[in-house]
Amino acid sequence: MIKDRLEQIGSNPLKEIFYFRGEGTVNLAVGEPDFSPPTSVLDTLRELKGSEVHRYGDPQGLMALRSAILEFMDDAPDHFDEGNVVITCGATEALASSILAHFDPGDELLIPDPGFILFNALPTVFNITPITYPLHFDNGFEIDVNDLESMLTERTRGILLNYPSNPTGAVLGEDKVRAVLEFAEEHDLKVISDEVYHRFVYDADHSSPLSRYHGVIHVNSFSKTFALTGWRLGFTMAERELIDPIKIVHQYLVTSPSTILQHAAVQALTSSGNYLRSFVEEMRWRRDYAHQRLTEMGLDTLSPAGAFYAFPSVKDLGGDSLKISKHLIEHGVLTAPGVAFGPGGEGHIRISFAASRDSLEAGLDAMENGLRELR
């Protein structure tokens, strides 16, 4: 029953942390950049006039925006045109529409563990069975195709990838991408590739699956790349036989995305090169700083190759990530308990270094003080 499925996903421990509001508490739990959006984008939004930007738009999205996306995305196949792109109400709706369009109740979708909470929640709501594949610290949190073989059943229909990864910060290497796609093609599986952090890579190149296998559904967002989390704009790209069903579901879910925000988003894609370079370099500095501080605290942690999260192990401190996150709240800092991202996340906590430099320093100071009591 739907009530049971909603109760199942409604119990995620992340809620206890995210909804906490305490005076003076530093928030290193939420993955929201402290950056302002590009000035040119905000100027464009203010200057937009005329009734056409306040009316219903094309359900598939503004043509100019879809065209700009194709220019912006280096990994888009050469034969893609505007018909291969759908503008969505954030990456969340892109995921929801993709799953609804291509999976039937009772189908199985392989999802990462640990992985972003939506990856389990959305299939569960739609009565599709999420089957978790493990991501191991010792393997850099990269997917291992050998793990997938044992999970295949007659009802397996797809694999969900998320690189750069939330919560681990991992980036999938070229060889691993190729191996996953060969596995998917061999077993006729669709691949939903959530790449909302694709611009935030530091020590490795991001290798998108989109142009390498006809069964890939690419999901992306303006939220992280341009610090436009409140605009709720995203997009999905795929071959026509995959994108056309998504377009139908999307139209009946939301009719169309915000017309005026789409016009402004064109500006983001076409004139924000310097902004993006400085944004990524700043996140690289914060990554290095956070990694150094966590290492100095004696935590076993990998340097994140992408996204803006560190995922240190707290197993030496007892391993109960929710208990540790609650303890850290008492010391003035919010962190995300690893167990919120699946059983494979237990024994870790997630630190967002998307906060400002001052907040990051203050939060890590508070974290160091709090962890000292647990040793």
Q: What is the token pair recorded at 282?
A: 């700043």
Reduced to 3 states (helix: H, G, I; strand: E, B; else coil), residue 58 is coil
Which of 226, 243, 270 terminates a domain? The answer is 270
Residues 280 and 225 in one domain: no
230 touches 206 (CB < 8 A): no
Alpha-carbon gap, residue 71 to 130, rounded angstroms: 34
Neighbouring-strand partners of residue 374: none
CATH number of the domain enclosing 81? 3.40.640.10
Residues 122 and 204 in one domain: yes
What pLDDT is recorded for position 11? 73
Neighbouring-strand partners of residue 336: 350
Which of 270, 289, 323 terminates a domain? The answer is 270
What pLDDT is recorded for position 68? 98
Reduced to 3 states (helix: H, G, I; strand: E, B; else coil), residue 165 is coil
pLDDT tens readout for residues 230-247: 999 999 999 999 999 999
Q: What is the token pair recorded at 224?
A: 């992280």
Residues 99 and 230 in one domain: yes
Residues 228 and 351 in one domain: no
Distance, C-alpha 140 to centroid of its chain: 18
Residues 230 and 315 in one domain: no
Residues 69 and 213 in one domain: yes
Residues 23 and 55 in one domain: no
Residues 257 and 293 in one domain: no
Q: What is the token pair recorded at 249?
A: 């579901």
Residues 238 and 285 in one domain: no
Residue 113 CA: distances (Å) to CA of 120, 257, 350:
9, 31, 14
Reduced to 3 states (helix: H, G, I; strand: E, B; else coil), residue 353 is coil
What pLDDT is recorded for position 243? 98
Alpha-carbon gap, residue 110 to 181, rounded angstroms: 14
Reduced to 3 states (helix: H, G, I; strand: E, B; else coil), residue 201 is strand
Element holding 87 (H helix, E strand)? strand 85-88
Which of 235, 270, 305 terminates a domain? The answer is 270
Residues 6 and 48 in one domain: no
Q: What DSSP string describes 148-163?
A: HHTT--TTEEEEEEES
> pTM to 2 decimals?
0.96
Count, in order, helices (H) and strands (E) of the chain. Answer: 13, 12
What pLDDT is recorded for position 17? 77
DSSP 352: E
Per DSSP, helices labelled H in the chain are 2-9, 14-18, 39-47, 63-72, 90-102, 118-125, 145-149, 174-186, 240-254, 259-270, 273-296, 321-329, 357-372
3-state helix, strand, coil in the chain (%, to 5): 45, 15, 40
CA torsion, ordered 212, 215, 221, 225, to nearest 10 deg: -10
333 touches 367 (CB < 8 A): yes
What pLDDT is recorded for position 51? 65
What pLDDT is recorded for position 204? 82
Residues 116 and 128 in one domain: yes
Q: Can you say whether residue 331 is alpha, beta or left, with left for phi > 0 and alpha for psi between -120 and 50 degrees? A: alpha
Alpha-carbon gap, residue 255 to 88, rounded angstroms: 10
What pLDDT is recorded for position 346? 97
CATH number of the domain enclosing 304? 3.90.1150.10
Neighbouring-strand partners of residue 132: 111
Q: What is the token pair recorded at 326?
A: 């609650």
Residues 33 and 65 in one domain: no
Residue ranges making up the domain that contains 348: 2-37+274-372
pLDDT tens readout for residues 106-132: 999 999 999 999 999 999 999 999 999
Residue spans of the chain under pLDDT 70? 19-22, 51
Cα Rg, the chain, nearest whole Å: 20
Residue 163 CA: distances (Å) to CA of 28, 177, 194, 304:
21, 10, 7, 11
What is the number of structural domains in the chain? Answer: 2
Angle at 31 between CA 251 and CA 171, to 5 degrees: 90
